[in-house]
Amino acid sequence: MRKIAILIFIIFCSCNKEKMKVITKEQPKEIPEEVPYFKQIKSNDIKLAEPVYGDWLFSRKEKGQTFEQYFRSKHTVPTKDANIIYIRPIGNFNVLQKRQIQLANEYLEIYFQLKTKTLEPISNDVVPNSARRMMYSHEQLLAGYLLNDVLKEEEHLNRIALMGLSELDLYPKPEWNYVFGLASYRDKVGVSSIYRLQDGELTSENFNLCLSRLLKISSHEIGHMFGLHHCTNANCVMNGTNSMEETDRHSIRLCSVCQRKLNSCIAYDNKKRLIDLEKYFKKNDLNDEFDLMKKDIKVIQ
């Protein structure tokens, strides 16, 4: 029986620590007082449902990460020399797919309150035949080749994170059917595929569902690059997930604890970010997501 790839990015960390270049800061020991904003939006946190067979937490007993643990950890933070998130499309994208990438760029810039830039697409031809295969009548690319031999070699001005978005399906090794993506969190580089987010084909009818999935996955993975662990506090975009169905059930919203972590890392205006997200969701007819932001705005006013 073939192994089924789970909806996570497999972390590949180099054993040679001298080659790891990580932007970190030493956190002071004193934990800052929780500001009213996080206490107020906590009322909108939704408790995680009891995991059932097939769910991420059913077979993984994660302890989660408290704010105190995050605050005292070493993690990447923006600096004047590293403050831009880059997206690198890989492949040939149709009009609807290009629109999704554009909207993902807009979203990530609002979500992290950091400049986000989409680079020019590169051809699938960068991957040699030895790192491609046919699986069930469609082509797949070896995720590790894209990560290590393509993306890690790229250097961009003021880069803090780089996310590749592949048009084609990905696989991590011969015995696996597929993987949604692969990342090196230490190097702040990852690659994800949009292939399985589209339910076979991206259309105007499933556009918003597929966009929501892309926004969840991209913000989740880049969140890891800023040191956020999987959330066990509430229904949250940082929850671990085992399947597309579980991803669809999870919220696009960061819970109050994870918002506090991110804000301690990236010093943005919480209210402005919330209003920007509300406007984004309204403009793009993401109604459920809009309602979540509207509820948070209501409790902070």
Instruction: For the chain, 301 residues long, give each residue's pLDDT as a single digit of tens.
Output: 444 443 444 333 333 333 334 444 444 568 989 999 999 999 999 999 898 898 888 888 898 999 999 999 999 999 999 999 999 999 999 999 999 999 999 999 999 999 999 999 999 999 999 999 999 889 999 999 999 999 999 999 999 999 999 999 999 999 988 888 888 988 999 999 999 999 889 999 999 999 999 999 999 999 999 999 999 999 999 999 888 999 999 999 999 999 999 999 999 999 999 999 999 999 999 999 999 999 999 999 8
Query: Which residue type, as a one-letter code, is found at position 156?
Result: H
pLDDT at 301: 86
Helix (H, G, I), strand (E, B) or coil at 301: coil
CB-CB contact of 82 with 157 (8 Å): no
What pLDDT score does 291 carry?
Answer: 98
**Is residue 14 situated within a structural domain?**
no
Q: Is 246 left (phi over 0), alpha (psi -120 to 50) or beta?
A: alpha
Domain contains 8: no
Element (H, E) at 108: helix 95-112
Residues 6+ apart with CB under 8 A from 285: 208
Residue-range definition of the domain harbouring residue 231: 34-300
pLDDT at 34 (0 to 100): 94
Residue 18 lies inside a defined structural domain of this protein = no
Structure tokens at 249: 């059930």
Does residue 4 lie within any of the structural domains? no
**Torsion on CA atoms 201, 204, 208, 213, rounded to nearest 10:** 10
Q: Does 24 reside within a domain?
A: no
Q: What is the pLDDT of residue 29?
A: 64
Instruction: Give the catalytic positions in this structure.
Output: 221
**How many domains are there within the chain?**
1
The pLDDT assigned to 106 comes to 98
Q: Is residue 246, in this structure, part of any structural domain at all?
A: yes
Helix (H) or strand (E) holding 52: none
pTM: 0.88
Q: Which of 228, 287, 226 is nearest to 252 (CA)?
A: 287
CATH number at residue 88: 3.40.390.10
**162 neighbors 154 (Cβ within 8 angstroms):** yes
Q: What is the pLDDT of residue 164?
A: 97
pLDDT of residue 136: 87
What does the alpha-carbon distance between residue 269 and residue 196 come to, in Å, rounded to a whole number? 35
Secondary structure class of 206 (helix, strand, coil): coil
Rounded to the nearest angstrom, the gap between the alpha carbon of residue 252 and the centroid of all alpha carbons in its chain is 11
Has residue 1 been placed in a domain? no
Q: Does residue 21 sit within a domain? A: no
